Every structure is written in structure tokens, then in C-alpha cells.
Amino acid sequence: MEKVRLQKFMADSGVASRRKSEEMIASGHVRVNGKTVVEMGVKVDHNDKVEVDGMPLETENKRYILMYKPRGVISAVTDNKDRKVVTDLLDDVQERVYPIGRLDYDTSGLLLLTNDGEFANHLMHPRYHVDKTYIAKIEGVMTTEEIRNLEKGIKFKDYTSARAKVHVMSKDKKKNSSIVKITIHEGHNHQVKNMFDAVGHHVEKLARESYGFLTLDGLVSGKYRDLTRQEVAQLKSDK
């Protein structure tokens, strides 16, 4: 086997994403052949003994999981406040998978998990414009101008959102609320909520109903399934 960078080896072993693996290396959590490594240039293969926090790494079978994340669950593998995390729901998964991206604690819907670092990096790369569709229950009734502003893009302090697709599914003037479908291809922190806030509408409830061609069909909240080989292949090939 050709030697690869340590952070890639860790990601391929299911420890974490490559970026998170780099953070673990820099903070002194990783040893190679008994020596703590903190630089990024080290290369290893399966003949090297790699340990993370004293635990040796072994190559795992690749897993690709689609989960219907419930509200009130953290999109992480651990939580310092001892709240439930998404991996707590994986009762028959032995591999050390982690979420691709995240959904907020109070947001439900489609979440992907894997132990394939290259796959995760591919989907999270800025050049990979995968459509993500959300259903939002918001306060108030949107005007045509507010919809157009979302569709043109919202300017924030650190970025300007790309053009969104917006469809008002229903509105209730008496209850002063609306149900809106919005499709974006970015993944900034709290982006959908911030976009609606920017045009004057607080999000009361939010759910992600699709990720590219993937949907939640056949799943109920808290359940999951493995992606098919065809689905994985299509996600890897889409660029």
C-alpha cells in the first residue's frame, strides 16, 4: 500500500473528517510508531502503528448512512453537555461514523453519516453544489419582495448567500404564519434561519427533506438506512 498523509489515513479509518483529524494531530492526540506527531506532513501505511488517544486504528468497512434526524439531537459524535448525539441512535452500527455537515439541535430531517473521509470531503467541498431542500414554518406572511430577496441572495457579514429557490406552500393570516419550501446548496452555520431572519421572519420549525436526489421516503424520525451502492456511486460521481 502506498503511504498516505496521516490525516487521510485517520479519515479513511473512520476517526473523523480529514479537517477534524488535522485538529487532533495538531493538539497532540495522535502517535505514530510510539511517537507523538503534531505536524501535517507525516505519511503512513498499514505497516505503521497509528494511535489516537492511545487506541490503535484499524481500517474499517466503509459505511454510508442516511438518517432521519429528530429534533433535540446533536449532529456530532460527542457532546460536552451530555446531550443525545446522532450516533446514539445507531444501535447496530459498529463502524465509527460521523455526520457529513450538520443540522441544528432543533432542526430535523435528512442527515448523512459515514466513515469515508474522502467521500465526506467531496460532499462538503465548496465546489460541490448539492441542493438541500428545507421546509420552514415561519412567523408572518412573506411579501413578493421578501421572496425575491431570498432568491437573489442575502448579504451577511462574512458571505453573501447564493440564489435560493423559494416556494410558499401555505399561509395563515389569522395565525400569522406560513409554510415555506426553500432550496439552497450552501451549508453556512444557521444559514436558513439567518436568511429568513434577514427578511423579517423568525423560523419556528425547520426540517431538511432532501439532499440532492436523496429523500426521507420510507423512514420515520430517528431511523436510518444504508445508502445503496448506486446512491453512493452517484454522489461520488456528481461534481
The pTM for the full model equals: 0.78
pLDDT string in tens for the chain (239-residue length): 578 899 988 887 777 888 889 999 999 999 999 999 999 989 998 788 999 999 888 767 889 999 999 999 999 998 888 899 999 999 989 888 999 989 999 999 999 999 888 888 888 876 778 899 999 999 999 999 999 999 999 999 999 999 999 999 999 999 999 999 999 998 888 999 999 999 999 999 999 999 999 999 999 999 999 999 999 999 988 65
Residues 203 and 145 occupy one common structural domain: yes
Q: Which one from 48, 79, 104, 197 is the annotated catalytic residue?
A: 104
Range of the domain at 45: 4-56
- The number of angstroms, rounded, from the C-alpha of 141 to the middle of its chain's C-alpha atoms is 30
Tell me, yes or no, whether 221 and 205 share the same domain: no
How many structural domains is the chain composed of? 3
Q: Where are the alpha helices (DSSP H) in the chain?
A: 6-12, 18-26, 117-124, 144-152, 191-198, 229-237
Whether 104 is a known active-site residue: answer: yes
Are 195 and 150 contained in the same domain? yes
Q: Residues 41, 148: one domain?
A: no
178 and 123 housed in the same domain: no
CATH number of residue 182's parent domain:
3.30.70.1560
Q: What is the CATH number of the domain that holds 52?
A: 3.10.290.10
Report the interhelical angle of 191-198 vs 144-152 (nearest 10°).
140
pLDDT digits (tens, 9 = 90+) for 99-158: 998 999 999 999 999 988 888 888 887 677 889 999 999 999 999 999 999 999 999 999
Which residue bears the cell 413578493? 144
